Structure 1
Amino acid sequence: MTLLNEAQATAATSLTPAAFAAAEAHSAHNYHPLEVVISHAEGAWVTDVDGRHCLDMLAGYSALNFGHGHPALLSAAREQLDKVTLTSRAFVHDQFAEFTARLAAMCGKDMVLPMNTGAEAVETAIKVARKWGYDVKGVPADQAEIIVMAGNFHGRTTTIVGFSDDADARDGFGPFAPGFVMVPYADLAAIEAAITPNTVAVLVEPIQGESGVVIPGDDFLIGLRELCTRENVLFAADEIQAGLGRTGYTFACDHAGVKPDMYILGKALGGGIVPVSAVVADRDVLGVIGPGQHGSTFGGNPLACAVGTAVIELLETGEFQARAEALGQVLRDRLLAMVGKGIVGFRSRGLWAGVDIDPAVGTGREICERLLARGVLAKDTHGSTIRLAPPLVIAEEDLHWALDQLEAAVSE
């Protein structure tokens, strides 16, 4: 049988088209997924319904920093499943104290407010910042302002998309909440000019992931820390994608040696098993929230805390930060060699890269489809850019193999 006939025979017996169609039939089309239906995963590899193996170079937008099914995380989850999974915060459970104490210590802060999804954590940070502004800074009632960045991505709630400049996220969902002032990303002068007596916080991603892994100079975060301190404004860092080992440090802010007033965490904090998010800050900030003023039935549940504590234990070893740094250099060197050969540029930090595809060779979506055909999973953004963010457990030879496939895909 020829290779062409083999490919035709495989296509004829594939379970993927029917499984993909079934998944699309009764679901809202709020995503445009690649045509792959995953049934099993381990480490950096997934297997689809046809038994085809693919290398995961997206890692759930950094939710899977520790890979699929990390043994320590699965063990923590399984052990907790046999005990208690949910109490609500009306009662205290025996996993809560350790999780909050260890997360606070890892961040160098006093207090933790646990939630579930990243968007919930951002919403929590917005509420905390406003409450702090009224109770501590003395901003007049309902006049609090938060400075946000152009190109931001903090989630998809109506409040959050109201201060997005992404038309797909924003258009058709108004009216929007007031109180947000947008400035160009990483423009210190613009932030300073936008600060008024009613400014309570600057909300910023230390690296903008959805925009294509846009990385400011370290002097921006240093300057922002100084500016917020001088002007009595909270520095709220959305580390949901950038944090927890992805960039070679525990937090992306660590590259600049700065500490925000509020860490906003999510994704990898749940180990790819359960949604876990949190706002972490000192007592003079998070202490403004009292009983009945904020909450979540599932936030800080026993299963989430058990998994979250296991994630913190992994990060405390420093192994994953070191892997991200070392393999990130491999990623950078390989991408640098591709510039001018189907790639017009890239930005990377740690094991995370935004790669700009030469429009002459295809769109970002088309390159991701070619990569899928070669057994690599990646995701496009903003037309011509693809994001690479493999699990931090990826083997170096597998990383090289994935980049070989990228090199081939942009040469077709």
Structure 2
Amino acid sequence: MRYRLKCTVCCVLLLSLLCIVITGCGSRTELNEISIVSASGVDWKDGKWVMSYQLVLPQAISSHGMGNSTGAAPVNVFSTSGDTIRGAISKASYEMSRRLYFSQNQIIVVSEQAAEHGLTNLFDAYLRNPDSRETVSVFLTKLSARQVLEHLIPLEEIPGEAIERMSLNEEKNGSTLPHMSMYRVLLDLLGPTKATGVASIDISGEDPLNSMQKMSKTYSSSKIKLGQLGILREDKLAGWISHTNSYGVMWMRNQIRNSSLWFPCSSEQPAEQAVMRVNRTKTKLKAKKDGDSWKLHVQIRAKGTLLEYPCDSDLSKPASVEELEKAAAAKIAMLVQDSFKAVQGVKADILGFGEAVRLQYPKEWNAMTSRWNEEIFPETKVETDVQVTIERTGMSTDSFRKMQSKAGS
């Protein structure tokens, strides 16, 4: 009996302690005390950091449409400046009644001027502060970062979230530009070659879509779109490469997911372009020592489906399909060669070449790591081994033009 009583008392005390613990609300966050940041921007102006914030307005999107009955925009943008990035952020309390809440921040846009100045402060802020998310998507822009944040996007409520989805969609279905998170950027810049590529955001048109009144039309004279690939070396912008060269970089980095590849039908029909949907790829990089210099061997294997075929060859013949596969392989090899030269011109190895050298020749790499980007990488060569397999050619073995010619004869 006494044992049971002791057990009962212990249980009551334990439950009492648990109740005290679970009812504590000392670290609570009230929604009416915070401003949710959906996107942020970094500019460098007059020797100071300028931070911009795209704030979500819950009352404007509560009806799940682009604005409420008053025509209010779903977001509000404002900026602060300071000698340091965190210093600029802290000044938000001068003009905001609520604390900035970065846990829902989707993207961070960095201007060309800020990237050219150097982004050590930005990277350090993300590595040190617990309220900064390393999964936030990173973009560059040749405009000011605030301009990008002010631009609305048709069919979307939150522009920052829409830009992130646009980039993810491009990487998944186009594979021309990489989708880069802060984590991936930091990982590359802390890697052997200390270089990475980040997609940029452009605004087409001269009349920016920055008010709900402009959204009332059936078309917009201005729109957000993905631009070129910016190359960061260490913590600064080293240069830009085109969409086409970025596509070649994606092939070398084994980042092609689903993509449409177009190539000439044959040397006799250079103007006619066939199109293949690339479904599966595999790229292997191997470093080779070539005397006193280095060579990168790129092996690519790709499989896909034929989508367009305006050519004259009969696809019922295996020789015609093989010729088409060779033409596709030649196009990929050309993309690799051209993009390799473009990246060499920027003097920033974002291809994984340095990593291949480090793994295969660790002693040689340790001796030349500090000279790799500036001196050695620009003098290296590339050789390609590309094989393409067209798995399906569609329901017809002839082009539509050829079928019309047969029907008329």
Q: TM tier, shorter chain?
A: under 0.3
TM-score normalised by L of structure 2:
0.24
Question: Which structure carries more strand by proportion?
Answer: 2
TM-score normalised by L of structure 1:
0.24
* Greater gyration radius: 2
